[in-house]
Amino acid sequence: QVQLVESGGGLVQAGGSLRLSCAASGRTFSSYTMGWFRQAPGKEREFVAAISRSGGNTDYADSVKGRFTVSRDNAKNTVYLQMNSLKVEDTAVYFCAARSDIMIITTPRRYDYWGQGTQVTVSS
């Protein structure tokens, strides 16, 4: 089992940047594929980015490609989401999630563990 705690959210102006972190408990962090998802008010939770166990493979939603970068540090049990050129439509609660499988999956229900989320608000 793994526990996830996100941090780094906040209020930023459009065009600005934020870096989210997700710290994981446990000694087997490197065995989990990690994902970032977001949920805006009144909308379903949607895939943002994911990274493989080793960090060698990544995937992004089309809406964030070229602006967001997912990375991980297995020695620190932490996954990051660097968000640049933020837009008002990026406003949402951002969640990190872990799945104990090698495949990068974009479907939220295929993830086993979730953090509590961190709010990102982008103002115009």
Tens-of-pLDDT digits for all 124 residues of the chain?
899 999 999 999 999 999 999 999 977 999 999 999 999 999 999 999 999 999 999 999 999 999 999 999 999 999 999 999 999 999 999 999 999 988 899 999 999 999 999 999 999 9
What 3-state class would DSSP assign to 70? strand
Half-sphere exposure of 113 (CA within 13 A, CB side): 20
Record the tokens describing residue 28, joined without a space.
Answer: 């087997």
Greatest alpha-carbon span in the chain = 42
Burial 35-50 (b: 16+ CB within 10 A, else e): bbbbeeeeeebebbbb
Strand partners, 66: none
The H-or-E segment that residue 4 falls in is strand 4-7
